Amino acid sequence: MAMYRWLLRLYPASFRNEYGEEMRAVFARRRRDARTAAGVVALWFGAIADIFANAAMVHGDILKQDVRYVFRTLARTRGFALTAVVIVSLGIGATTSAFSITDYVLIRPLPFPGADRLVKVFERHPGYRRMELSPANYRDWKRVARSFEAFGAYRGLSVNLVSAGEPQRLEGAVFTADVLTALGVAPIIGRPFSEADDREGAAGVVLLSYRLWQTQFGGDPLVVGGTVKLDDEVYTVIGVMPREFYFPDRDARLWMPMRFAAAEFEDRNDNYLDSIARLRRGVSLAAARAEMDVIAAQFKQQYPKENERTDAAVFTLRDDVSEQSRVMLLALSGAAACVLLIACANLANLLLARALGRRQELAVRAALGAGRERLVRQMWRGAGGRGGSAPVAARADGAPSRRRAGGGSARPRVCGRGDRPHRSGVRTGASPASGPRSRERRPSRERARRRRPPPAIERGARRR
């Protein structure tokens, strides 16, 4: 019988209180009447199957009644429901947007193969932890360094695309062939830059972004091998980069090979090159930093006038991408969490005020036979219904921020991982209901004595 009592716990408490003793008595009588082991086994199988099926039906009936009650309550108090939804949606929308951006910048892996081996190399001067490289130092450091599989340099570019219509201003970059090698990215059609393209005097070539290929050239694969006019010169299109490739930032629409004139190597203090490198397998960041410190010291001795105060600095690409915005994003997340807490507090105050105003209604319902469990459950579901409506508005609040975070410099797009505002909405809306629940947890003795209404009240309820 202990197992049967445990199985009865699958029913709601109100159902057990009303029918539990009778069900146990019936089962005990049938158990005594079972003469054989086969009869006992059949009785248990039948009882278990009935309990599972009937318990689900009872819970379903109660849920349908509570849902209808919640919708009736929301329809009857539209102003209160709308206020609660707006309060919660603002808190959830702010939190969702802040987490989406923080997740995008600080948590998600970078969209390059082996991104943990990608580093950036800088010059370090007194008072400047990170400074762009000069062409001369880039050339010499790349030639001597052994910690990197590839060591490329790049800088921004702005050109006019001259077509049949008005010229169009496009942003892009020029970089050495080693940049794509370091990033581990290749064109979806065509070929990448080669070292021959980096030589001064080589034919002009260009790589197109996927977006430019689609908008200006209609996605025609025959554009590879064709020519485009940029400013006053004609360039041959040699490839189209993948759709998700944003480098060095989301506005880049095309890329050209970087070519150095001999005069650019004469001034070691002409710093304008960014760099990207990939560590060799088995080489740690500490080892690469140690090697670059030695190399920088060697060139200090070789060029004491220009490099006297020049050291090398090596940072992971992740650190370079996130360091400047880390503090701001963490502060933004903290502020959004505070907004959500304020929304919870405001909603709790609204629900408590409403619960105080409903004391008479709850007392009448208790007098008519509604149990404590039913009252508490309906109040929880009512609060959860108001909170659960908020994520619809919260998604609308947070969508623009998530879309704006969708592209960026050397970063993945936001896909909303962990972005579940509907869960937050139900929790946010339901948690303040614990206040009204605590009141219902302690019914007065008078109310406890009147769980079954007297005949006069029962007859009046039937007439209504």
Residue-wise pLDDT for 116-154, tens only, equals: 999 999 999 998 889 999 999 999 999 999 999 999 999
Which segment, 8-22, 377-391, 401-415, is predicted with the most confidence on average? 8-22
* Residues contacting residue 458 through CB under 8 Å, at least 6 positions apart: none
As a three-state string, the secondary structure of the chain is CHHHHHHHCCCCHHHHHHHHHHHHHHHHHHHHHCCCHHHHHHHHHHHHHHHHHHHHHHHHHHHHHHHHHHHHHHHHCHHHHHHHHHHHHHHHHHHHHHHHHHHHHHHCCCCCCCHHHEEEEEEEECCEEEECECHHHHHHHHHHCCCEEEEEEEEEEEEEEECCCCCEEEEEEEECHHHHHHHCCCCCEECCCCHHHHCCCCCCEEEECHHHHHHHHCCCHHHCCCEEEECCEEEEEEEECCCCCCCCCCCEEEEEECCCCHHHHCCCCCCCEEEEEEECCCCCHHHHHHHHHHHHHHHHHHCHHHHCCCEEEEEEHHHHHHHHHHHHHHHHHHHHHHHHHHHHHHHHHHHHHHHHHCHHHHHHHHHCCCCHHHHHHHHHHHHHHHHHHHHHHHHHHHHHHHHHCCCCCCCCCCCCCCCCHHHHHHHHHHHHHHHHHHHHCCCCHHHHHCCCCCHHHHHHHHHC
- Tokens 């430019």 belong to residue: 212
CA 461 to chain centre: 52
- Predicted confidence at residue 383, as pLDDT, reads 60
The long-range contacts involving 449-457, CB below 8 angstroms and separated by at least 24 positions, are: 450/366, 450/367, 451/366, 451/369, 451/371, 452/369, 453/367, 453/368, 453/369, 457/367, 457/368
Measure the CA–CA gap between 355 and 144, rounded to whole angstroms: 76
Given a cut of 70, is residue 449 above it in pLDDT? no
Q: Name the pTM for this structure.
A: 0.60
Given a cut of 80, is residue 366 above it in pLDDT? no
- Tokens 């539990």 belong to residue: 20
- Tokens 């319902």 belong to residue: 365
Question: Residue 284, class by beta-carbon neighbours within 10 Å (0-12 exposed, 13-18 middle, 19+ buried)?
Answer: exposed
What's the first-to-final CA gap in the chain, in angstroms? 43
Report residue 257: phi and psi, to 5°.
Answer: -70, 145
The per-residue pLDDT for range 53-91, each reduced to its tens digit, is 988 898 888 888 878 877 777 777 778 778 888 888 888
Considering only CA atoms, which of 245, 222, 223 is closest in space to residue 235? 223
Q: How does residue 232 score in pLDDT terms, banded at 50, 70 and 90?
A: confident
Considering only CA atoms, which of 18, 71, 73, 63 is closest in space to residue 362? 73
Measure the CA–CA gap between 435 and 432, rounded to whole angstroms: 6
153 DSSP β-pair partners: 275
- Predicted confidence at residue 340, as pLDDT, reads 87
Measure the CA–CA gap between 110 and 259, rounded to whole angstroms: 28
170 contacts 211 by C-beta, under 8 angstroms: no
- Predicted confidence at residue 379, as pLDDT, reads 65
How much of the chain exceeds pLDDT 90, in percent? Answer: 37
Per-residue exposure over 166-189, b if at least 16 CB sit within 10 Å of its own CB, e if not: eeeebebbbbbbbbbbbbebebee
291 contacts 169 by C-beta, under 8 angstroms: no
Q: How does residue 265 score in pLDDT terms, banded at 50, 70 and 90?
A: very high
Two tokens, residue 295: 């190399």
- Tokens 């702010």 belong to residue: 94
- Predicted confidence at residue 63, as pLDDT, reads 81
- Tokens 């209901």 belong to residue: 433
- Predicted confidence at residue 385, as pLDDT, reads 54
The amino acid sitting at 229 is: K
372-404 vs 37-76: helix crossing angle, rounded to 10: 70
The per-residue pLDDT for range 8-59, each reduced to its tens digit, is 888 888 788 888 888 888 888 888 888 788 888 888 888 889 888 988 898 8
